[in-house]
Amino acid sequence: MKIYKTKDYDAMSRKAADIISAQIIMKPNCVLGLATGSTPVGAYRQLVEWYNQGVLDFSEVTTVNLDEYKGLPRDNDQSYYYFMNEHLFKKVNIDKSRTFLPDGMEADSETACRTYNEIIHATGGVDLQLLGLGHNGHIGFNEPDTSYAKETHCVTLSERTIQANMRFFASEQDVPRQAYTMGIKTIMSARSILVVVSGEDKAEIVKTAFFGPVTPQVPASILQFHSNVTLVADEGALSQCPALFHSAK
């Protein structure tokens, strides 16, 4: 695992965008696995800026997102489709027909998961998978468990994740209780993985996930077994970790 330490969130975002843009430039028809949440917003903002400067071309890129809430229509401003459209897709020249997320409005979980697995397999595999890191070690919506889920599956969200997501909704009752998410096997099948983490409140889980034992109770810990993982985190997030990282501006 390669670890880059940045001064703050903005520097973290720029370094992450550097890595994503390099993937696009090296392989214009690459498959990007994308993530939502507050952490990658800065990286998406930087990618849009470089696109506007003529540095990046998204016209051949295919994307597959990690997850989507079950029961939220795409036009709901808290759906991940809406998030991706607002922060990236509508601001660059990406072909919308090659941007994929699980179908949150498919009520039958088996159908939704099977369909999304087929979509991911049809892309030929993810070249670069972007991940955030939850306070309990979840990646995507793969929550702490006794075993690792393999492919796309329906998850009942933990109370901690529901509480963390409350800030995006009018009330706790509005927070979805289930989501469709890529499984650990799918994530680990990506050719390369980029993890972005910011803030001292994530310091303990960063240490646990990347320097502790590998266990499904800390889903992100499985990334220790991947051959090509890059962690980009700011000073706060790395404050409890051994000094085994590169400095990045």
CA distance 206 to 201: 10
68, 138, 151, 153: which one is catalytic? 138
Q: What is d(CA 104, CA 58) in angstroms, rounded to the nearest whole number?
A: 25
User: Residue 116: which H helix or E strand, with range?
Assistant: helix 109-122
Q: What residues form DSSP beta bridges with 218?
A: 215
Instruction: Compute the half-sphere exposure of residue 67: CA atoms within 13 Å on the CB side of its CA.
Output: 29
Shortest CA distance to 234 belongs to which of 1, 8, 2? 8
Amino acid occupying residue 92? V
**Contact present, 148 and 183 (Cβ < 8 Å):** yes
Active site residue 138: yes
67 catalytic, yes or no? yes
Helix 41-52 and helix 80-87, axial crossing angle in degrees, nearest 10: 40
Spatial contact of 33 and 62, defined as CB atoms under 8 Å apart: no
Residue pair 36/130 in contact (Cβ under 8 Å)? The answer is no
The C-alpha atoms of residue 21 and residue 19 are separated, in whole angstroms, by 6
153-156 and 178-181 beta bridge pairing:
antiparallel
The one catalytic residue among 65, 136, 142, 165: 136
Instruction: Verify whether residue 142 is a known catalytic residue.
Output: no
Tell me if residue 212 falls in helix, strand or coil.
coil
**Residue among 65, 67, 142, 153 flagged as catalytic:** 67
User: Active site residue: 103, 143, 151, 234, which one?
Assistant: 143
246 among known catalytic residues: no
Q: Which residues are catalytic?
A: 67, 136, 138, 143
